[in-house]
Structure 1
Amino acid sequence: MNPLDTASIRRLRGPKASLDPARPYAISVEAERTAAGTVEDVLTVFLTNRECPYTCLMCDLWTHTLDHSVEPGQVLEQVDYAIASTPGVRHIKLYNAGNFLDRRAIPASDRDALAGRLAGFDSVIIENHPRMCSEDLRAFQDGLSGELEVAMGLETVHPEVLPRLNKQMTLDDFALAAERLQDWGIHARAFVLLGLPWTPAGEFGKWAERSVAFARGAGCRVVAVIPTRAGNGAMDHLAATGAFQEPTLRQLEDVQEALLPGPGRTFVDLWDAERFASCDTCRDARIERMGAINHGQTVLPTVACLECHAG
């Protein structure tokens, strides 16, 4: 294996998007199965802020980040704008392409004031690197009226690939962070990759399933499986050298079926899932089926296709 270091990963990047620091770079409302078993709308606010200090090999979130810190009050303005645009939603995700506790990304004064802004939500989900899960999360939780959940990137348990993702994290780091969150009464969510560089495509499912099992064992009540994409420069470089290929829609379906039913909730990420399909005839029906499985957490009959036999 030939890993890429931070400098190499950054050299392979393209340009960043032009962003307004007073506005989130995206807002979405999508239905998600809750811990109570109901399917409810969740508002996701993609905050505009300074880039994450970590430079993970597979990450493309940097494209919608700033090279400087936002001014105090601008994150609050972004959240106010998003909430006002989507009234009536009871669950919110604040995803900032990095770490909620990174004070260079979200000023401490904004973070402290955010709890009051979020008082009307039943659940608040933020994202954070496992090594940055400090007791500041407890203070933030104390200001909320609903439950707090922290989403963390586990990525993979593959012993050779994880160190080469430049995530600067071990499995022990992840397990310790999850344990601390549980001790504080905070829920944990994990992100797991389907499709690893330097790994045969035939092993993609195996390593995703093992990684989900680890996350569940660490106490994560939600695990989201995300198909790895090219497009950030570094992954395109690895693809050109034969060290990476994107997973297929069939592989994503197989993993979803293998993981259900199971403890907690397990979702497959369907954003831009069309790119992984090889058959236009059955693509939309298969993606719709996976969305229904996400909501029901039970496997449904497969989609039959005379063109590709749902391959």
Structure 2
Amino acid sequence: MHDGYDSHAITQLRSKKNKADACIPYHFLHEKEPALSGDIETVNTIFLTSKECAFKCLMCDLWKNTLDEAAPFGAIIKQIEYALERLPQADVIKLYNNGNFFDTKAISPKEYPAIVKLLKGYKRVVVENHPKLCNRHCIAFNEMLDGRLEVAMGLETIHPGVLPRLNKQLTPKDFKNATGSLNQHNIDVRAFVLLNAPYITDPQESIVWTLKSIQFAFECGVVRCAVIPVRPGNGVMDVLWREGNYAPPSLAMLEDVFEKALLLGQGQVFVDTWDIGFLSTCTFCFDARKKRLEKMNLEQKILPEVRCSCSQTYSAQTL
């Protein structure tokens, strides 16, 4: 097993980015999510077109919808306005910029007052950010809000042989310190945890380390964990697949880790169901199983299994 790929090697293996308009979010949607109280909240999620993240994580494919340079001053505000004009009212708003909201090279702090004005009335505001960039700008933004701030951070995995190879420039201690600091300022934290991180190719081992990482996140003070199945398609992940250093997860694995995580009873757990068609080749049960996962996300409880002959094994796809 090699030491991993550095930022240069990762970017060299990429395809071209998608064409992006700096004044229009590349996507937005209206969804639902449970509050910590258990009540169902409506959520407006806006995927902002922003400067590419400075951290070139091995497994990331979010760079595909980013800009090479910072969006012009005021463009982020225009994007939020554009989406909100087309979205219904909601309890919660998520502003995901495929990077770090508090990276001043991506979003200028001078834009915070205008952004906050647009967020008036939302009970909760969720942004994404690297643990090492949870700085004074994060605190300043939080103090401007009338709603509660939640910062979504990628923990990914606490596997000691894998996390250093992800090129995330993060340790579990960094994540713990960032979470503790945010909690001290009454800011909630959501953690992103990987299923089938690179370099863990045994299905059972992958599930074990996903659960260990979820437990660690909750012990740090996280209130929500989102499980992200690692997908190929970003260039370097396809190379790792051919090398035998990555295996796509199966839908059965995602179901298994979700159920086990819910049984921990330590906090809210969600699984990412966006574009998870690559997890299954079965046309008979996929839609029903996906709907089950989405309902479990909302209800935070294990629902009856969707029975199908394909669902009983951790069958890996082949490249």
How far residue 309 of structure 1 moved from its aligned partner, in angstroms, is: 5.0
Secondary structure of the corresponding residue to residue 267 of structure 1: strand
Map 1:32-181 onto structure 2 (within 5 A): 32-181=33-182
Native 8 Å contact 1:303 1:310 kept in 2: no
Secondary structure of the corresponding residue to residue 7 of structure 1: helix
The superposition leaves residues 171-204 of structure 1 with CA deviations (integer Å, 9 ceiling, x where unpaired) of 1100000000010010000000000211132211
How far residue 87 of structure 1 moved from its aligned partner, in angstroms, is: 2.5
How far residue 157 of structure 1 moved from its aligned partner, in angstroms, is: 0.4
Secondary structure of the corresponding residue to residue 41 of structure 2: strand
- d(CA) in 1 for partners of 2:139 and 2:246? 39
What amino acid is the match of 1:140?
Answer: F
Native 8 Å contact 1:201 1:247 kept in 2: no
- In structure 1, the partner of 2:292 is 289
The superposition leaves residues 259-303 of structure 1 with CA deviations (integer Å, 9 ceiling, x where unpaired) of 114122000111112210132111111111111111111111111
- d(CA) in 2 for partners of 1:87 and 1:299? 30
Asked if residue 269 in structure 1 is aligned to residue 276 in structure 2, the reply is: no
What amino acid is the match of 1:249?
Answer: L
Map 1:166-205 onto structure 2 (within 5 A): 166-202=167-203, 203-205=205-207
- In structure 2, the partner of 1:217 is 219
- In structure 2, the partner of 1:11 is 12
- In structure 1, the partner of 2:316 is none
Distance 1:179 1:309, change over 3 A: closer
Native 8 Å contact 1:58 1:232 kept in 2: yes
Map 1:232-247 onto structure 2 (within 5 A): 232-247=234-249
Structure-1-length-normalised TM-score: 0.97
Secondary structure of the corresponding residue to residue 30 of structure 1: strand
Unaligned stretches of 5+ residues in structure 1: none
- In structure 1, the partner of 2:317 is none
| Greater mean deviation of Cα atoms: 156-165 or 23-32 | 23-32
Unaligned stretches of 5+ residues in structure 2: 314-319
What amino acid is the match of 2:181?
Answer: R
How far residue 30 of structure 1 moved from its aligned partner, in angstroms, is: 1.5
4+ runs of 1 displaced by more than 6 Å?
A: none
Secondary structure of the corresponding residue to residue 151 of structure 1: strand
What amino acid is the match of 2:236?
Answer: A
Native 8 Å contact 2:124 2:150 kept in 1: yes
Structure-2-length-normalised TM-score: 0.95
- d(CA) in 2 for partners of 1:303 and 1:230? 26
What amino acid is the match of 2:262?
Answer: L
How far residue 159 of structure 1 moved from its aligned partner, in angstroms, is: 0.2
- d(CA) in 1 for partners of 2:312 and 2:284? 9
Native 8 Å contact 2:30 2:88 kept in 1: no
**C-alpha root-mean-square deviation of aligned residues, in Å?**
1.1
Aligned length: 310
How far residue 241 of structure 1 moved from its aligned partner, in angstroms, is: 1.2
- d(CA) in 2 for partners of 1:204 and 1:271? 20
What amino acid is the match of 2:241?
Answer: A
Secondary structure of the corresponding residue to residue 308 of structure 1: helix
Native 8 Å contact 1:24 1:45 kept in 2: yes
The superposition leaves residues 81-123 of structure 1 with CA deviations (integer Å, 9 ceiling, x where unpaired) of 1111113112100000110111111122112321111111111
- d(CA) in 2 for partners of 1:172 and 1:310? 37
- d(CA) in 1 for partners of 2:244 and 2:39? 43
Asked if residue 255 in structure 1 is aligned to residue 238 in structure 2, the reply is: no
The superposition leaves residues 210-256 of structure 1 with CA deviations (integer Å, 9 ceiling, x where unpaired) of 00000000000000000000010010110111111110000000001
Native 8 Å contact 1:282 1:310 kept in 2: no
What amino acid is the match of 1:59?
Answer: C
- d(CA) in 2 for partners of 1:190 and 1:67? 26
- d(CA) in 1 for partners of 2:199 and 2:171? 18
- d(CA) in 1 for partners of 2:199 and 2:97? 29
- d(CA) in 1 for partners of 2:112 and 2:26? 18
- In structure 2, the partner of 1:227 is 229
Native 8 Å contact 2:127 2:150 kept in 1: yes
Native 8 Å contact 2:46 2:94 kept in 1: yes
What amino acid is the match of 1:270?
Answer: T
- d(CA) in 2 for partners of 1:147 and 1:92? 11
